[in-house]
Chains A and B, each alone.
Chain A
Amino acid sequence: MNQLNLDHAGAAIEFNKNEPRVDWHDETLWFVRTKRDRAAAQVPEWEELREAASQIKNYALSNMHDLLEQFEQNAIKNGITVHWAANADEHNEIVHGIIQKAGANRMVKSKSMLTEECHLNDYLTRHGIEVIDSDLGERIVQLRGEPPSHIVLPAIHLTKAEVGDTFHKHLGTDAGATDPQYLTEAARQHLRDTFLTRKVALTGVNFAIAETGGFVVCTNEGNADMGVHLADVHIAAMGFEKVIPRAEHLGVFLRLLARSATGQPITTFSSHFHRPRPGQEMHIVIVDNGRSRQLGRPDFRNSLKCIRCAACLNTCPVYRRSGGFSYHSAVAGPIGSILAPNLDMKLNADLPFASTLCGSCTNVCPVKIDIHEQLYKWRQVLMQEGYGPGGKTAAMKTMATVLESPRLYRIAGKVGRGVLRFAPVTVENKFNPWYNQREMPEPPAESFRDWYINNKKS
């Protein structure tokens, strides 16, 4: 069943039908979380670094207009062409236009969650442009016709046997092969040919530096660099919130990013682009797509501080047990659940409820986003705006009525105890979500109130 067509709870039920797989998914992500913990513990000033990163991002958000103007001016001085896109459609049209102008019909792309958000691949494919994703995880899911299920580890939901089957079908590897070394080598050969033959390459942007008009792209595989250094045209797509004031601030972010993401001390390549190489064209597409609206929401604006490390996904007890696809959004997990309602409140109204509000996400966030508090606040907004699930709205209203009246409350308690004792089938059935995966409690003989009154007398 396609998880993407269900709401979070529905998709989580599908995912949980295969219990060993859920356990495996859970443990794999927890393993990444423990690597993050070890890496963080090796930096004595870790908490001060988080605070500094948070404050630099707060400053950037509060000064965004001027920083973007400064970034644009300096980028243009560097010989980079700067484009602005108000929404996903404009972003896709701009990228398509650049490809057409280059006379190309194929493009290689490294990881960019923004292009996932804009559904760039679908758009370009519809317009006759072939796109090949070059990050190994992204290539795997692309070959399978799936979106990434995790922003750093796009194929984390797949076993090596499934990757082996996919590669056997599409890349001609041996049937039944599961050795990651062998499968990675096959992808290396296949993508090397792609890198050597594409005239246009697109990358995301991890950080854009206002002071110097350049940008930084971080990868472990070297795929972003292989693509752009061999292409005539480099397109870098960024949400406007990627801008930071000065190059020296990169010291803070590069110390936090990879340690938070995978527990590495830094990514293999942290590439700083400032000018196109001789004969090359370099384009930056700066995208809004709802970000300026989010900037205007005091309760939610600091979700724009996110540096996409995915620490909040790896630590989340819900994400680990429901899988990335259950979030039906380009960015899954806790951070995705506070970004997505801004993009489409109705479509993503379920996501802020996909959390236990345990706060683990907030504790690991390297830029100190109050993720669980925003999840809680989104719930208030969504219910007020009328996007709450129908059942939940009705239940809440009934509950409010009952709790408002002591008499109704006493009657409800009595009825509830009676029902549990004499007709348990009315609650112990699959229509009661509280009964799923749970035993109903044994009903007490009397309420606390009755007990208190009786015992006080005697």
Chain B
Amino acid sequence: MTTRDQILASIKANQPAVLPLPTQFTFVSTFPDLTQQFVDILTFVGGASVLLPDMDAVKQYLQAQYAGLSNIATTVPDLESLADMKLDVADPHDLAGLNLAIIEGPLAVAENAAIWVDERQLPQRVVPMITQQLVIIIRQSTLVPNMHDAYKRIQVDATGFGTFICGPSKTADIEQSLVIGAHGARSLLVCILP
């Protein structure tokens, strides 16, 4: 018997009689205003947000916000004029100098300000972590109340990698003092379109 077979045999011999799955494992969350809930939680976790009417306004806002910054890359065609770097590199190490990544988030969750992104938004998986600053553009129309709703909308294995991002990277490992900017992005700005 291989180790695998031994382990599985031992598990089979020791596991209890089959118990049922719960009938209820999804719940409904009701928030008076999904966008407000998202914004409040995002602020709580150290992120920033701005409501903008369209992509043109996003472009102007980001231009002003990150004026003078270089090593900017984006996957959003309308914002290409802001970029001076490409994200679809063959070797992810080429992104080491990235200062600002601007990507889109196809789905966002109001209860916890998490934004789902997968390889359709990320030419390299490391983009949202290796960049110094991160901007994600979401749409109010794709905001869902809670995580149960999110998992109904996404297919986790549609691409090889996907992640929920909630705020900038952070740590409180030194005496429980919150420090924003651990190993991933130092800041997260979410631009919210209608």
**Measuring CB to CB, which residues of chain A are less than 8 angstroms from any residue of chain B?**
28, 31-32, 43, 45, 48-49, 51-52, 55-56, 58-59, 61-65, 68-69, 78, 84-86, 90, 134-137, 140, 153-156, 158-160, 163, 180-181, 183-185, 188, 191-192, 195-196, 209, 212-214, 220-223, 225-226, 229-230, 240, 245, 247-252, 254-255, 262, 264-277, 286, 288, 292-293, 295-296, 298, 301
From A48, A262, A275, give the contact of B172 (CB < 8 A). Answer: A262
Most buried by A among B12, B24, B27, B175: B175
Whether B32 sits at the interface, judged by CB under 8 Å, is no
Which one, B64-72, B77-85, B108-116, B135-143, is touching chain A? Answer: B108-116
Q: Which of A28, A249, A268, A277 contacts B168 (CB 8 A)?
A: A268
Interface residue from B2, B15, B167 paired with A268 (Cβ < 8 Å): B167
- A59-B19 in contact given A223-B182, A229-B125 (Cβ < 8 Å): yes
Q: Is B189's beta carbon under 8 Å from chain A?
A: no
Cβ of B130 under 8 Å from chain A? yes
Contact with A along B149-166 (1 / 0, CB 8 A): 011100011011111111
Whether, in the assembled complex, B62 has its beta carbon less than 8 Å from a beta carbon of chain A, the answer is: no
A254-B170 in contact given A62-B17, A288-B10 (Cβ < 8 Å): no
CB pair A212 B7 closer than 8 Å:
no
B57: Cβ under 8 A from any A Cβ: no
Q: Pick 20 A–B contacts, CB within 8 A, sort by A.
A: A52-B24, A153-B172, A158-B175, A160-B175, A184-B173, A184-B174, A222-B185, A225-B126, A230-B93, A230-B130, A248-B148, A248-B151, A250-B151, A250-B156, A255-B112, A268-B170, A273-B161, A292-B7, A295-B15, A296-B14
Determine if B166 and A195 form an interchain contact, defined as CB atoms under 8 angstroms apart. Answer: no
Q: Is the CB of B7 within 8 A of A272?
A: no
Known interface pairs A63-B18, A298-B16. Does A163 touch B11 (Cβ–Cβ under 8 Å)?
A: no
A154 contacts across to B, CB distance below 8 A: 173
A52: B residues at CB distance < 8 A = 22, 24-25
Closest A residue to B162 by beta carbon equals A272
How far, in angstroms, from A162 to B64 measured CA to CA in the complex? Answer: 42
With A212-B156, A273-B161 known as contacts, the answer to whether A226 contacts B126 (CB < 8 A) is yes
Once the chains are docked, how many angstroms separate the CA of A293 from the CA of B7? 10
B52 vs chain A, min Cβ distance (A): 24
Task: State the 10 A-B residue pairs at the shortest beta-carbon distance, nearest first.
Answer: A222-B184, A296-B14, A275-B160, A265-B112, A221-B182, A229-B126, A137-B173, A55-B22, A180-B177, A292-B10
A62 touches B45 (CB 8 A): no
- A50–B45 Cα distance when bound, in Å, is 24
Contact indicator A64/B182 (Cβ below 8 Å): no
CB < 8 Å neighbour of B175 from A51, A159, A265? A159
Let me know if B60 is at the binding interface, CB within 8 A: no
Q: Which residues of A contact B99 (CB under 8 A)?
A: none
- Asked whether B126 lies within 8 Å of A31 as measured between CB atoms, the reply is no
Give bound CA distance, A55 to B172, whole Å: 32
CA distance A264 to B171 in the complex (A): 12
* Contact with B6, one of A86, A214, A223, A251 (Cβ below 8 angstroms): A86
B108 CB to closest chain A CB, in angstroms?
A: 12
Min CB gap B178→A, angstroms = 8
Within 8 A of A (CB), among B9-42: 10-22, 24-27, 41
Residues on the B chain within 8 Å of A266, using CB? 112, 114, 147, 164, 166
Which B residues are in CB contact (< 8 Å) with A49? 27
- Chain B neighbourhood of A160, CB < 8 A: 174-175, 177
